[in-house]
């Protein structure tokens, strides 16, 4: 999952950036509102963590411009403004949640997970795809009750395929979700991760199909037909 973090405070921004990376997100960090607005024009994100008190362009303007473009990605507001009117204004403009400073990093991560779940039409911490179960809060994927050991990138690949189960996921979508804008990556790297994930899913009779010219799609049998190890 790819997140845009918009925070001008270096200390807080660095802490948030590292916390989100540790939680498994690919993070782009914008330090002023205009830069964030440009990023939201040019890139695709699963969620935005947006401070209000930003230089050059304030957070409410960034949010307003985003919603005027009919982009519906979830936005979590961060602000030292804790007045009722401030919260109402942000929510009316199109914020999905509002967290006042100071806050606990664990709470921010939990709220962000909830927003991304809702955006993907999931109300539970658990996402099922045949024999596969993804625990979004613990960042664990299991099959038939057995945990599948995955690297960070492998986890990201399988997570996106599970979230879009039954739909084709392009290589470009995988790149956008797995890497931030400072990382260079080729489609060959995606092919390597797909190969590794396929090998780890073989014992459970779960396949990742290559849809020629389009991308990849998860194919999973009903739970009872999965092979035993």
11-66 pLDDT, tens digit each:
999 999 999 998 888 899 999 999 999 999 988 899 999 999 999 999 999 999 99
* SS3 state at 22: helix
pLDDT score recorded for residue 226: 45
pLDDT score recorded for residue 228: 46
Average pLDDT in the 142-157 region? Answer: 90
Alpha-carbon gap, residue 158 to 179, rounded angstroms:
15
Q: Report pLDDT digits (tens) over 155-195.
A: 989 998 998 888 899 988 888 888 777 677 777 888 999 99
pLDDT score recorded for residue 137: 79
CATH number of 126-225: 1.10.10.10
Place of tokens 């099922």: 128
Q: Report pLDDT digits (tens) over 65-96.
A: 999 999 999 999 999 888 889 899 999 999 99
Which residues lie across from 219 on neighbouring strands?
207
pLDDT score recorded for residue 225: 44
pLDDT score recorded for residue 37: 96
Domain-wise residue ranges, the chain: 2-119, 126-225
pLDDT score recorded for residue 18: 93
Would you give the DSSP letter of residue 228? Answer: P
What is each CA distance from 56 to 30, 59, 60, 77, 95, in whole angstroms?
Answer: 12, 10, 12, 18, 20
Query: Given a cut of 50, is residue 204 above it in pLDDT?
Result: yes
Query: Given a cut of 60, is residue 7 above it in pLDDT?
Result: yes
Q: Transcribe 79-141 into DSSP letters.
A: ES---HHHHHHHHHHT-SEEEESS--HHHHHHHHHHHHHHHTT--SSEEEETTEEEETTTTEE
| Whether pTM exceeds 0.95 | no
Identify the band that residue 123 occupies on the pLDDT scale cut at 50, 70 and 90.
Answer: low
Q: Which CATH number fits domain 2-119: 3.40.50.10610, 3.30.70.1450, 3.40.50.2300, 3.40.50.1000?
A: 3.40.50.2300
pLDDT score recorded for residue 109: 92
Side-chain-side CA neighbours of 36 within 13 Å: the count stands at: 33
Contact 21, 62 (CB under 8 A): no
Alpha-carbon gap, residue 136 to 27, rounded angstroms:
17
Q: Transcribe 38-67 into DSSP letters.
A: HHHHH---SEEEEESS-SSS-HHHHHHHHH
């Amino acid at each position: 999952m790819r997140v845009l973090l918009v925070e001008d405070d270096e200390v807080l921004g660095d802490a948030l950036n590292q916390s989100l990376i540790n939680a498994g997100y690919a993070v782009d960090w914008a330090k002023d509102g205009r830069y964030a607005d440009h990023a939201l024009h040019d890139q695709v994100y699963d969620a935005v963590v947006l401070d209000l008190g930003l230089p050059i362009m304030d957070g409410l303007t960034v949010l307003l411009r985003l919603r005027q473009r009919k982009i519906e990605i979830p936005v979590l507001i961060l602000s030292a403004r804790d007045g009722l009117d401030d919260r109402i204004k942000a929510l009316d403009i199109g914020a999905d949640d509002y967290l006042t400073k100071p806050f606990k990093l664990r709470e921010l991560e939990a709220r962000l997970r909830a927003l991304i779940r809702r955006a993907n039409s999931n109300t539970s911490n658990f996402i099922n795809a045949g024999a596969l179960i993804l625990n979004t809060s613990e960042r664990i994927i299991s099959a038939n009750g057995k945990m599948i050991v995955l690297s960070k990138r492998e986890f990201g690949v399988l997570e996106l395929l599970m979230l879009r189960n039954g739909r084709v996921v392009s290589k470009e979508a995988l790149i956008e979700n797995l890497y931030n804008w400072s990382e260079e990556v080729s489609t060959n790297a995606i092919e390597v991760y797909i190969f590794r994930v396929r090998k780890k899913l073989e014992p459970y009779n779960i396949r990742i199909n290559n849809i020629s010219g389009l991308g990849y799609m998860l194919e999973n049998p009903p739970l009872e037909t999965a092979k035993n190890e």
